[in-house]
Structure 1
Amino acid sequence: MDELHDEFITENMPNRVHMSTSCCQINCGGQADIAINIQHTKPPKINHDLVANVCERPTVVARCPVAAIRPALINGKPSLEVDEKKCICCGACFPPCPPMQINDPENSKLAIWVGGKNSNARSKPTFHKLVAAGIPNNPPRWPEVATIIKKILHVYKEDARDWERLSDWVDRIGWPRFFELTELPFTKYHIDNWHGARRSLNASTHIRF
C-alpha cells in the first residue's frame, strides 16, 4: 500500500489506522486492533506435488484456527486437504506451507472489512463489518483495492473528530451514513445475520439502507 505512504509519514489522520491483509476478521477485529482488513475470499489451492517436500504437515494442521485442514494421501503422496465449508480464508496455512497458495488471481477475490477494535478505551471492543466484496485480485499493485481503501481513509480523514478512531467514527455516524459517504454499494450480504446481530442493527421497523 505504498500509495498511502504520504498519509502515514505525515500523520494527517485523526488517529492511528492499522491495516492488515490476508487474515480473518475475527482474529484481527478481536485481538489486534486492525481498523481495516483486506481478506481473501476463497480457500487455498494446493500444489500436492510440493507439499511432502516443503511442508511440515502437523504444523500446518495445527495452524488452522477452525480445524479445516487435515492430512491426506493424494496420488500416493503425503499431502493435505481443506474442508472448504469450514475454511475462513485467513491465510494462516500459507506461511508454514507455501504450496497452499491462497493468493490466486484466477480463483480468488478480495474483501474489505472495517471497524475492528480491541481496546475498551472510549468505547467497547468491536468486530469488523464487511464493506466491500468480490474485488478483483490483481497483483502486484491491487489497484481496485487501493482505490476503495483510499476512499475510506479520505472520508474518515475529512469527517472524523480529532483522536477519534475509525471504529469510533463509524459507531458515531452509523453504518448507513458510512456507506453513503464512501459511496460503496450496500447489498443484502452486508446485513448482520448472526445470533448477536440485534445489538448492532437498528432496532426499528423502518429500513433506512
Structure 2
Amino acid sequence: MIANLRKSAKSQDEVLKKPAWGKFHCHNALYRKTMDLHSSILYGLELIKHMLRKYDLQEASWYLNNPVKKTVWTSTIKKTIYNHWNRSIVQLQPLYKGLSFLTTENLRRNIHPLLKINCHSTIDTARLPVKLKLLTGSYILQSKRIRMNKDETDPKCLLCAKEEENIEHFILKCESLRIVRNAILHEITTTLNAMVIQFDELSTNEKLQHVLDLTPVAKAKKLSPVSVV
C-alpha cells in the first residue's frame, strides 16, 4: 500500500512538472528565435550601411528623415552604382594587361559601343561574346590556362601546336584558324580602307586593337563607334 502511495505521489509530481518544463522549453525556443532574428536584423543594417558608404550615398537615417519617391530612389541608385563602377573600371584598366585593348573613354557616360551594335545574323551573335572575352582578357587561352592549372605544362596552341597560344597568336597567326581569320579580316580591312588605313602596315598591337575595338579609330575619324565596331 505504501509503495502504491509513493508511486501515485511520484506520478502526480511528474504531471505537475511537465507543464512547467514545457513552458520553459517554449520560452527557450522563442528566445533563440528572437536572438536569431535580432542577429539577422543587425547583419542587414550593417550591410545597408556598408552599401550606402561604398556608393557615397547618405546615411540610412537621412533617408528615414527625408523619404523619397520610389521612382526617384530607383533612378538615384542605378545612376550611383553605374557611376561607381564606371570610375572603377576606368581607374583600374591600366593595371590589368588583359584590358589593354579595351577603350574606356566612352564609358564615362555610355556603355561600350560593342554592346550597342545590332546583330543581324547568328554569326554576329556568336562573335560578340568571344570578342568581348578577348577584349576584357577573360578568354582562356593556353598561355593563361597554364598559369591557372598546375596540371597544364605546355603553353602551345592546341590547334596548331606551333607557338604559345597568346592573344597575338590566336587572332593573327594560328594557321588552323586561317580560313575563319581571313573572312573576318576582310571585313575589317574593307572598313579600314574606307578610312584610308592600310591594315598590313600597322604594328602588331595596332592590328590587335583594330580587330578587337575600333573605337579609337572611329573617334579619330569623327565617326560613330557603333558604325565601325
Pick the TM interval, shorter chain: under 0.3
- Answer with 1 or 2: which has the greater Rg: 2
TM-score by length of 1: 0.23
Q: Report which of the two has the higher share of helix.
A: 2
TM-score by length of 2: 0.22
